[in-house]
Structure 1
């Protein structure tokens, strides 16, 4: 695990559970985000075939920071600090109070339940703070670890886009999943904050 990025103060954490937390998307982490995005597993998982230059990513960061999407840095609580380990994004459609969900974890953060925990926190935020009624996502069908993580966080499979993606040079389906506010159950990291 790489050391925490320090700006002289602890990172801002908006909501958290015992495993991880969500804070603001940060311009000073652009090179870290870029490194994660160029990982071969991420390129395959997103169905992309080519990497992006750091210069192009830096230019795109300025647009992302000004956009209407809801972006989070995902932090793992390790030792005495919070270590950035991923990015989660909600792409809202305010007219119908829904959003598409996208998440990416650093290679060193995978396989420990952080994707499920972060996804659950994003759904909690989406339903209790942003007041969305539904969040949806697409995942390549062969990516069964991601499908399981999304299911554990509260998503359900609702269909597929046939032959819409690529997985290791092979055409594959994209699974479409959704989560509804009305079905979001279990403990909330947000609602206790409202009663304090």
Structure 2
């Protein structure tokens, strides 16, 4: 693997481009049963299907990042964040996926904050939203730490461990995104 390009970095992780050469790594993360439960997906996917999907993803208009753990001797890929924009209204749905070994260390929260920083300061979005299965307490807490607020719920819209459950809808507005900005730091600015 070549040395990754990092576009935005925080204290513990960085964001770089979505990479075709990592398709098998992404696929392995996606086949983790704990991730499948978190997404409410019941069916595994073949590597061949994932490789074909990657070709379409690389040509699409969605904004995708590889998340790198910066805690070791070099950047190690540990996840993906995605913004699915609706250009007509300047909003986007947010999706994050972390490898099992990367969870519980704050990387998801920091990767989410870096992605929101990009969304509001580079992509000029006005709001980012997400859906999370209601029983996923760890995910909800991480999203709250990153700045998301509860916006409502979709009743009985998902499955968790084979049981019907609600999906929680959360959002964050550009004006609510406070704290350090890696984008502003790149420009040498701390304020508006």
TM-score normalised by the chain length of structure 2: 0.97
Query: What residue number does 2:184 align with?
Result: 191
Deviations 1:54-109 (Å, cap 9, x if unpaired)? 00000000000000000000000132210000000000001110000000000111
2:31 matched to which residue of 1? Answer: 38
Deviation at 1:195, TM superposition (A): 3.0
The aligned residue for residue 62 of structure 1 is 55
- Moved >2 Å (runs of 4+): none
Q: How does 1:70-149 map to 2 (within 5 A)?
A: 70-149=63-142
- Aligned partners of 1:193, 1:45: CA distance in 2, in Å? 34
Question: Which residue of structure 2 aligns with residue 3 of structure 1?
Answer: none
Cα shift at 1:50:
1.2
**C-alpha RMSD of matched pairs (Å):** 0.8
Query: Offset of 1:157 from its aligned partner?
Result: 0.5
1:12 corresponds to which of 5, 8, 11: 5
Which consecutive residues of structure 1, in runs of 5 or more, have no partner in the other structure?
1-5
Q: Deviations over 1:23-66 (max 9, x none)?
A: 00000000000000000011100101110000000000000000
Aligned length: 189
Q: Which consecutive residues of structure 2, in runs of 5 or more, have no partner in the other structure?
A: none
Alpha-carbon distance in structure 1 between the residues aligned to 2:152 and 2:143? 14
